[in-house]
Structure 1
C-alpha cells in the first residue's frame, strides 16, 4: 500500500532561488562627463516635458516653504531648504523613463510617461520613497533636537531674527556646525542607498532591498567618482534653490537624465 505521505516533499526544482545581484562596474570621471553630456542631450530632446518635472518640484518647494511660514515654523525653513533635495531622486522617476525610451529610440508622449510615474506606487519604488521620506523626517527631527539643546533660550518671531541668531551668535555657529555634520551623514547615507537604486527599480523587476545593496556596492566600488558625483548634485541643487527654487526647472531634469546614464554605466545590463 502506498504511503499517505508519498509525494509530500516538494521536488528540488521548486526550491526558492535567491535573486542574482546585478554586476557592478568600475566607473571613472570620464563616465560622469559622458553621462552629463547625455543627460543634457536628453533635456534638449524634450525640454518642455523635462522642464515640467523640474517646475513641479520647484512649485512644491515654494508651497512647502510658504506653508512653514504660514504655520509659524520659522526654524524649519533652513533645514527644509537644505534637506529638500534629499527627495529629488524619487521626483525624477519620469525623467528616468524618458531617458530609457530615448536611449532605446522609442516614441512617447505625456500619457506614456505620466502613466509610468503613476504606476511606480504599485512597485518597489514606493518603498524607496518611504526610505527617502523617512530620512528626510529624521533630518528635520534632529534639527529640532539641536535647536532645543543649543538655542533653547532663543525665540524666533520672524525669519530675519532666526537668521541673525543662527549666523551671528556663537550658539548659532555651534548649531550650524553640528547640524551640518549630522546632515552630511544622513545625506551620504541616502545617496549611497539610492544613487542607482531609483533608476534600477524603474528599469528592472527586483526588490528594493537588492536595489539598495547594489547601490551601496556601486559606491563602495567607486568611492572617489561617486563622491564627486554627490558633490556635483549637492552644489547644483543648492545653487538652484537660490532664485526662489526656479533653478530647479533646469537643474533637476538635467541631473535626473544624467543619473540614468550614469546608472547604465555603473551597473551591467540585465540582459547581460
Structure 2
C-alpha cells in the first residue's frame, strides 16, 4: 500500500522548480501536543538513556554560564541561548534513534544510539558543520552588536534597551532560519539515504507548508528552553530528551513515505 501524496498548491519550494524535496503531509494544529504525548511515553520507557543524554544537554548551558561568569560579558547570554538552540538538533540524533528503536519493538541501547551519527555520516556531519558555521556567524553578529554599545553609557535599562531590542530581533531571525532548516533534517538523514541539500530543503518546505502547527511547535521548543534556564538547567535533564523524542514523532507524522513502514 502506498501513501497518496497530498497536493499542496501553497508549497513554495516544489513549485519553484529549484530543488527536489520529499513530499510532506498537512498537519493539524493539535499535532504538536500529540508529539509531546508520544515523546513522554518514550521518556518513561527509557529512563536511564533519557537521564544520560539529558545530563549532556544540561552540561552545555552550564558551561555557557561558566564562560559568562569568567569573562563578565553578560551580553553573551542571548547569543549563547541561540547557539544552544543551533547545536541542539545535531546532538538530538541519538534521541531520535531511541524512539526509532522503540517503534521497531527493539530495546534501545546507548551503543546503538551513538552509532546513529554514522548512518548517513557524510551528510550528517555536513549538517553539523552547517549548524556550526551558522553559530559562528551569529556570534560574529552578536559581537558586532556588543561593539556598538558605548562604554560611557550606564547599565540602566533605558540605555540597554536599544541594544536588547536589536539583539532580540537578530536572534529571532537567526532562530527562525535555523528552525526552518533543522526541524526535520536530522531525522531525514538518519532514516533515508538522501543528500544534505534534499534533507534541508525538505525541512524548509515542510515548515513552510505547515506554518501554524510548526509555529506552535517552535513556541513549545522555545518555552522549554526558557523553562530549562529558569530552573537552573535542571529542567533540561527531562525537557531536552522529551523534545528529542517528540521531534522523531513529528518527523514520522510530517514527512511522506512511498510505502507504509513495516518495523517488524
Give TM-score, length-normalised by structure 1: 0.82
Gaps of 5+ in 2: 1-18
Structure 1 residues 216 and 82, CA, compared in 2 at 3 Å: closer, same or farther? closer
Alignment correspondent of 1:126 = 125
Alignment of 1:157-176 (within 5 A): 165=155, 168-176=156-164
1:153 matched to 2:151: yes
- Give the Cα–Cα distance (whole angstroms) in 1 for the partners of residues 258 and 57 of structure 2: 31
- Give the Cα–Cα distance (whole angstroms) in 1 for the partners of residues 33 and 243 of structure 2: 12
Q: 2:184 aligns with which of 180, 196, 204?
A: 196
Would you say how many aligned residue pairs link Structure 1 and Structure 2? Answer: 242
Alignment correspondent of 1:41 = 41
- Give the Cα–Cα distance (whole angstroms) in 1 for the partners of residues 120 and 158 of structure 2: 45
Give TM-score, length-normalised by structure 2: 0.84
Alignment of 1:49-60 (within 5 A): 49-60=49-60
- Give the Cα–Cα distance (whole angstroms) in 2 for the partners of residues 34 and 91 of structure 1: 23
1:76 matched to 2:76: yes
Structure 1 residues 206 and 270, CA, compared in 2 at 3 Å: closer, same or farther? farther
- Give the Cα–Cα distance (whole angstroms) in 1 for the partners of residues 258 and 96 of structure 2: 16
- Give the Cα–Cα distance (whole angstroms) in 2 for the partners of residues 268 and 243 of structure 1: 37
Structure 1 residues 59 and 47, CA, compared in 2 at 3 Å: closer, same or farther? same
Structure exhibiting the larger radius of gyration computed from Cα positions = 1
Asked if 2 retains the 8 angstrom alpha-carbon contact of 1:22 and 1:270, the reply is no
Structure 1 residues 25 and 121, CA, compared in 2 at 3 Å: closer, same or farther? closer
Shift of 1:55: 0.8
SS in 2 for 1:124: helix
Q: Deviations over 1:53-112 (max 9, x none)?
A: 111111122123213433454432342135422221111111000011111112232222
- Give the Cα–Cα distance (whole angstroms) in 1 for the partners of residues 120 and 233 of structure 2: 26
Alignment correspondent of 1:143 = 142
Alignment of 1:1-272 (within 5 A): 21-117=21-117, 119=118, 122-149=121-148, 151-154=149-152, 165=155, 168-269=156-257, 271=259
